[in-house]
Amino acid sequence: MKAVSYEGTHKMAVTNHPKPKLSSPTDAILRVTTSGICGSDLHMYDGRTELKEGTVVGHEIMGVIEDVGEAVASIKKGDRVVLPFNIACGYCFNCHRGYTSACLTMNPDAPSAAYGYAGMGPYQGGQAEIVLVPHADFNCLKLPGKPGDEWEDDFLLLADVFPTGYHATELACVSPGKTVAVFGAGPVGLLSAYSALLKGASEVYVVDNIPERLEKAEELGAVPVDFSKGDPVEQIFKLRKKNKDLQQSMRPGEEKMQGVDCAIDAVGYQARDDKNPSKENPTQALENALKVVNPTGSVGVIGVYIAPDPGAKDKQQKEGVFDFPLAAFFEKGLTIGTGQAPVKKYNEYLRDLIISGRAKPSKIVSHHIQIDEAPEAYKKFDQRIDGYTKVLIRFGDKKAA
């Protein structure tokens, strides 16, 4: 079968691999219909993780079940399913409490496992024609409809970026009426903004410097903020000040609350420096999030910070150690949330929002490709050119999928 594998920094290849086989009675075999390329895959592509060459990548996976082990009870051949990017057992202490992003049994080296990802266990990725699904009863989310229907892209986004964006709003304590700033207009930032709007946030700002992505943010109902046009935090303060009705209804001293209630870092450790975007500044988005949020507000860190980082500029950063403005953080009395999204906590309800027509996350999808085009798509997505924002790989018959 064909699959996309990591062959060194800036080298993805389409290679041939043996078809995975059932290895435990609780496994299933999935024939993939669509698989996404994620911003997280770019950290590996850029050589910013310790990933073994030859690893098959891809953790956003949906398709049709081809076979199930004899202990699988709720999933059968022919079922259409999407997989959370987290691989979880369902019975460990963390899974039991809903933290499938910190499953204690599926990865011998750390709490948390995923398909085709550095440091996340020995699992083959899903940018492949076929993938093995461990603990199929727990990890498959059943879907209505047929491969290639109007929901194919929406459902694929349930594997990662839609629940991840939603989780970012949970980490940042977004609720109806609150004001929100999102740093990063990649798929995760865009769907964090979208989730905030679904939850009823009153104002949502999205910061980036890529025109097509800022346009998408506006299309979704957020206010775009281009950091190449000046300090994004100051820009948000100014935009809020322009709202005369809001200014008129303030309580004494409220002018000190010129920022927002909730901020989301949807960029992570490969952030660009605001003033000099050709340079990397790993804490830029996090620092801005801490600045833009009002005293007593909340910050959600959904963009990843990974160590060891072979591409970092010094020894400390290679180990993932950065300066952090702790005094400002304390003085403001902020709450901060971090980590991988426990996709399974949200995917069922978000699926139902899609089915009822209340959510259409696929608005952010920019490209559909066949697997042979993957190396070129990685290159363009990494350079963020030609509008490459969210790329989905289609498998099999072009019409059927």
Ligand X SMILES: NC(=O)c1ccc[n+]([C@@H]2O[C@H](COP(=O)([O-])OP(=O)(O)OC[C@H]3O[C@@H](n4cnc5c(N)ncnc54)[C@H](O)[C@@H]3O)[C@@H](O)[C@H]2O)c1
Binding site for ligand X (CB under 6 A): 38-40, 42-43, 160, 164, 183-189, 207-208, 210, 213, 227, 266-268, 271-272, 274, 284-285, 302-304, 340-341, 384
Contact partner at residue 56 from Zn ion, ligand X, none, CB < 5 to 8 Å by partner kind = none
CB 116 within 8 A of CB 55: yes
Burial class for 9, CB neighbours closer than 10 Å (0-12, 13-18, 19+): middle
- The residue written with tokens 């349930």 in the block is 158
Burial class for 356, CB neighbours closer than 10 Å (0-12, 13-18, 19+): exposed
Number of amino acids touching Zn ion (CB under 5 A)? 8
- Separation in Å, CA 345 to CA 193, 299, 342: 19, 20, 6
Cα–Cα distance, 190 to 262 (Å, whole number): 15
Cα–Cα distance, 118 to 121 (Å, whole number): 8
The minimum distance between CB 161 and ligand X, in angstroms, equals: 6
Q: Which of 252, 253, 226, 254 is nearest to 239 (CA)?
A: 226
Q: Which residues contact 85 (CB under 8 A, 6 or more apart)?
A: 38, 59, 60, 61, 114, 115, 117, 159, 160, 343
Cα–Cα distance, 265 to 301 (Å, whole number): 5
Among positions 44, 83, 103, 364, the unique one binding Zn ion when judged by CB under 5 A: 103
- Shorter beta-carbon distance to ligand X: residue 12 or 185: 185
**What's the gap between Cα 126 and its chain centre?**
16
Burial 107-121 (b: 16+ CB within 10 A, else e): beeebbbbbbbbbbb
The minimum distance between CB 90 and Zn ion, in angstroms, equals: 6
Contact partner at residue 347 from Zn ion, ligand X, none, CB < 5 to 8 Å by partner kind = none
- Shorter beta-carbon distance to Zn ion: residue 24 or 175: 24
- Shorter beta-carbon distance to ligand X: residue 26 or 270: 270
Contact partner at residue 213 from Zn ion, ligand X, none, CB < 5 to 8 Å by partner kind = ligand X
- Shorter beta-carbon distance to Zn ion: residue 83 or 290: 83
Cα–Cα distance, 129 to 90 (Å, whole number): 26
Q: Sketch the per residue contact string, 148 through 167, with Zn ion: x for CB under 5 A, - otherwise.
A: ------------x-------
- Shorter beta-carbon distance to Zn ion: residue 81 or 156: 156
The minimum distance between CB 401 and ligand X, in angstroms, equals: 22
Contact partner at residue 183 from ligand X, Zn ion, none, CB < 5 to 8 Å by partner kind = ligand X
Q: Which of 260, 337, 310, 314 is nearest to 52 (CA)?
A: 310
Contact partner at residue 48 from ligand X, Zn ion, none, CB < 5 to 8 Å by partner kind = none
Contact partner at residue 184 from Zn ion, ligand X, none, CB < 5 to 8 Å by partner kind = ligand X
- How does DSSP assign 89-110, residue by residue? -SSSHHHHTT-GGG-SSS-TTS
- Shorter beta-carbon distance to ligand X: residue 178 or 213: 213
The minimum distance between CB 164 and ligand X, in angstroms, equals: 4
Contact partner at residue 80 from Zn ion, ligand X, none, CB < 5 to 8 Å by partner kind = none
- Shorter beta-carbon distance to ligand X: residue 33 or 340: 340
Cα–Cα distance, 127 to 17 (Å, whole number): 12
CB 310 within 8 A of CB 47: yes
Q: Does position 38 bind Zn ion by CB under 5 A?
A: yes
Contact partner at residue 208 from Zn ion, ligand X, none, CB < 5 to 8 Å by partner kind = ligand X
The minimum distance between CB 351 and Zn ion, in angstroms, equals: 18
Q: Which of 180, 207, 205 is nearest to 300 (CA)?
A: 180
- Shorter beta-carbon distance to ligand X: residue 79 or 215: 215
The minimum distance between CB 36 and ligand X, in angstroms, equals: 9
The minimum distance between CB 241 and ligand X, in angstroms, equals: 21
**196: which 2 tokens?**
């905030």
The minimum distance between CB 401 and Zn ion, in angstroms, equals: 20
Contact partner at residue 5 from Zn ion, ligand X, none, CB < 5 to 8 Å by partner kind = none
Site residues for Zn ion per CB under 5 A: 38, 40, 88-89, 92, 95, 103, 160
